[in-house]
Structure 1
Amino acid sequence: MTAAAAARGSPCDRELALEPRAPFALELTAWALRRRAHNAIDCWDGRVYRRALALGDEAVAVSVAQTGPICDPRLAVTLSGVHLDKGAEATARRGLDRLLGLTVDLSGFAAMAAGDPLLARLTGRLRGLKPPRFPTVFEALVNGIACQQLSITVGIHLLGRLTAAYGRPVPKDPDELRAFPGPTDLASVTLAELNHMGFSAAKARTILEAAAAIAGGELDLESLERLDDRTAVEGLTRLYGVGRWTAEYVLLRGLGRLHVFPGDDVGARNKLKRFFDIERPLDYEGIEQLLARWHPYAGVIYFHLLLDSLTAAGLVAAGSTAPAPG
C-alpha cells in the first residue's frame, strides 16, 4: 500500500502466502463454515473463499485460494482494505489460522480412523477437512442463538440479514462484503429492529443483552478460552436465553474444543444415527456413550457428519478438492 493511497482512503491489496498443516482442503473447510449455499458471510465460488474480517475499526476483505494439493497445501491470500500495514497483515494471519484451522493437528484422529473401518468410512471421503472456528466467540454465540430451534437454513438467513444491516462494509468491495457485526456495532440496535428481521423477542434480547454487556466491559467472552468446559458452560448458561446446546456449540465453534459434540443438536443427532445405522433412540447420554470410543475427537466427527450431509445434498463434491490451475 502506498502512502498516497492511504491518505486518499483508497482500497488496496496485500498478498500473503500461507502453508497449512497437511492434509488441508480449502473447499471442505470453507463449507464447514458456509453450511448453506445462501450464506453471504462465508462465500465460496468453487475456487476462492471470501469473507470480511474486522481488523480494528476497519473491515477487510480476505480472499483465499488453494494452490497446492491436499498433501502439500499452499494458500494464496489477498487482503483488500484501506489501512493494510504490517500489523493488519499479522492480525489477518492469526485470524485465518483460527478461522480455517490452518495449524490444527489431526494426525491422532487420522491414526484412529485408519484403525477403525466405521470411522474410516466417514473420514476417507473428506480428507483435508479442518475444524474451523468463528473469528470471535461473540460470533459463535450469535450463530448458536440464531439457529436455536430452527433449521440451519433459516438461521443462516437471519445471520445474513443481521450482517447486511449492521456489519461494517469493506470499502468498494465488488461483492459488497460486510464483516459480521461485533458488540459495538449492535450497541444502538433495538429489539424491534431485530424482531422485524425475523428474530424472536427472546433471541433479540439475548443478542442485544450480550452485545451491551461486552461493549460495556461487563462480559468478556474471549476469556472463556482460559476456563475448563464445565466452568465455561456455566458462565455461558448464565446469559439470558443460552442453554446447554448453545453453550456447547460455542465451545466447539468459538473456542475450538474438538472433544465437544453438541449432544442436544437434533440435526447432528439424526446425522449420527443415520451414518452409523443406529435404530434405537439417542439421548444426550447415549451420544456421549457412543462417541466415547473416539475421544477426544467428538467435535471433529461433528464436522465430518456436517460435510457428509452437504455432500449427500450435492453441495460439496467429496474428493474434488484439488486446487484449480494457476
Structure 2
Amino acid sequence: MWALRRRKANIVDWWDGKQYRRVAIIEGSPVKITVSHDENCTNFKPEINITLKSEKEITGKVQKEATQLLQKMLGLNIDLQPFYTLAGTNDFLKPLARQFYGVKPPRFPDVFEGLINSITGQVVTLDLSILLQNRLSENYGMKFIDDDGVILHAFPRPEELMDISVKDIKKLGFSYQKAEAIKKLAADVFYNKINLADLDKLKNSEVIGYLSGIRGIGRWSAEYALLRSLGRLDIFPGDDIGAKNNIAQIFSLDKKPDYEETRNLTSQWHPYEGFVYFHLLLNKLQQRGVI
C-alpha cells in the first residue's frame, strides 16, 4: 500500500507507515477509505482490513464499489508469480525483484486522474507535481471532515474542474498551457466528447493514438496513462527522462537511448516492462530516502 503514496506531502494518497487513506467519491458522496495490512499474511496472498466512513449510510453497494476500487488501485488480483519467474532468469531483475518482493502494481482509480497527473507532471519535478495536485484537491475536490475535525480532500472530478477559469487554475502554480489543458479535458470528459471509459477495450497502440489527440497529452502522457490508469504492465514509458537515465546506466550506454532503443532494450522484460519501470522508480526513491 505504501507504494501508492509517492511522497510524504501527498494529501490524496496518504500513508502513515501502518495505514493507507484516501477519500473516494462513491454514490456522489465522499467516503473515507482506510486500509491496513495484516502483518501476519504473505505478500502473495495479502489480507487487508478496510474501514469506510461517510456522512451517509454505508450500503452494500458502497461497500462493493469501495472494494472493487481498492482491488484495482492496490493491484490485489495481480498474480506476481510469472514476473518472479522471469526475474529469476535475469541477472539484473533478480536483485531488484527481491528488493521489492511482494509489491503490487498500483493504479490510479480512473483514467481522468491519471491524465491530470501526467499533465501536471510534464517537465517538473515529482515534488512540484504532487504539490500542484494537492492544491487542485484542496481547492476543488470534495471535502470530508474527519472525527477529529481534520479536513480531508478527494481528487477533483471533471465536473469540479470544468467551470474553473484558466486564470484561477494558473493561480495554483500551473502554466497557462497546463491550466487550459486541464479545464478542457475536464469539460470534454464531462460532456462525453472524450470517452475514457472504454479505453480498456482497445489495444495499446489504439489507446496511445486516441489519447494523443487530446490537448496536452503526448506520447509520454499516453503511455503513462496506459501503465498507471489502465494497468498495462507491458508499457515502459520510453520518453521518460529518468527512465532513460536508468536504462543508460543498466546497459552501460555512452548516452541516453532514444525511444526506439529504449523499447528494444526493455523488450527482454516483456510482458512486464512497465512493472520494471515501477521497480526502477521505487529503487530511486529508496536511494534518496523518500520511501
**Is the pair's TM-score, using the shorter chain for normalization, greater than 0.5?**
yes
- State how 1:95-244 maps to structure 2 within 5 Å: 95-172=69-146, 174=148, 175-244=150-219
TM-fit CA distance, 1:279: 3.7
Tell me if the contact between 2:233 and 2:272 (Cα under 8 Å) persists in the aligned partners: yes
TM-fit CA distance, 1:130: 0.8
Aligned partners of 2:29 and 2:59: how far apart in 1? 12
Structure 1 gap ranges (5+): 1-25, 317-326
Tell me if the contact between 1:245 and 1:265 (Cα under 8 Å) persists in the aligned partners: yes
Aligned partners of 1:66 and 1:277: how far apart in 2? 39
TM-fit CA distance, 1:213: 0.9
Counterpart of 2:288 in structure 1 is 313
Match of 2:143, SS state, is coil
Aligned partners of 1:131 and 1:71: how far apart in 2? 13
TM-fit CA distance, 1:127: 0.4
TM-fit CA distance, 1:275: 4.5
Equivalent residue letter for 1:73: P
Match of 1:287, SS state, is helix
Match of 2:217, SS state, is coil
Counterpart of 2:43 in structure 1 is 70
Between 226-235 and 85-94, report the one with greater CA deviation. Answer: 226-235
| More relative contact order, 1 or 2 (CA 8 Å, 6+ apart) | 1
Aligned partners of 2:18 and 2:254: how far apart in 1? 39
Q: 2:55 aligns with which of 65, 70, 82?
A: 82
Output one character per residue of 1:41-91: Cα deviation in whole Å (capped at 9) or x when no partner.
111111111111111211111111111342542101111112310000000
TM-fit CA distance, 1:277: 4.3
Match of 1:120, SS state, is helix
Equivalent residue letter for 1:138: F
Output one character per residue of 1:144-190: Cα deviation in whole Å (capped at 9) or x when no partner.
00001111111111000000001111243544221100101113211
Q: 2:236 aligns with which of 253, 261, 266?
A: 261
Aligned partners of 2:287 and 2:200: how far apart in 1? 34
Aligned partners of 1:132 and 1:259: how far apart in 2? 14
Tell me if the contact between 2:234 and 2:271 (Cα under 8 Å) persists in the aligned partners: yes
Counterpart of 2:275 in structure 1 is 300
Q: 1:39 aligns with which of 7, 10, 14?
A: 10
Aligned partners of 2:244 and 2:33: how far apart in 1? 34
Tell me if the contact between 2:44 and 2:80 (Cα under 8 Å) persists in the aligned partners: no
Aligned partners of 1:164 and 1:271: how far apart in 2? 34
Match of 1:38, SS state, is coil
Give the direction of change, closer, same or farther, for the CA distance of 1:56–1:272 in structure 2 (3 Å limit): farther
Equivalent residue letter for 2:72: R
TM-fit CA distance, 1:36: 1.8
Equivalent residue letter for 1:101: G
Aligned partners of 2:44 and 2:218: how far apart in 1? 40
Output one character per residue of 1:224-277: Cα deviation in whole Å (capped at 9) or x when no partner.
111111111111111112110011111111111110011111122223333454
Aligned partners of 2:67 and 2:176: how far apart in 1? 37
Aligned partners of 1:97 and 1:249: how far apart in 2? 20
Equivalent residue letter for 1:147: G
Aligned partners of 1:223 and 1:173: how far apart in 2? 38
Give the direction of change, closer, same or farther, for the CA distance of 1:177–1:273 in structure 2 (3 Å limit): farther
Equivalent residue letter for 2:34: S
Give the direction of change, closer, same or farther, for the CA distance of 1:227–1:267 in structure 2 (3 Å limit): same
TM-score normalised by L of structure 2: 0.94
Structure 2 gap ranges (5+): none
TM-score normalised by L of structure 1: 0.85
Counterpart of 1:291 in structure 2 is 266
Equivalent residue letter for 1:85: T
Aligned partners of 1:259 and 1:92: how far apart in 2? 27
Give the direction of change, closer, same or farther, for the CA distance of 1:58–1:122 in structure 2 (3 Å limit): same
Tell me if the contact between 1:51 and 1:179 (Cα under 8 Å) persists in the aligned partners: yes
TM-fit CA distance, 1:311: 1.1
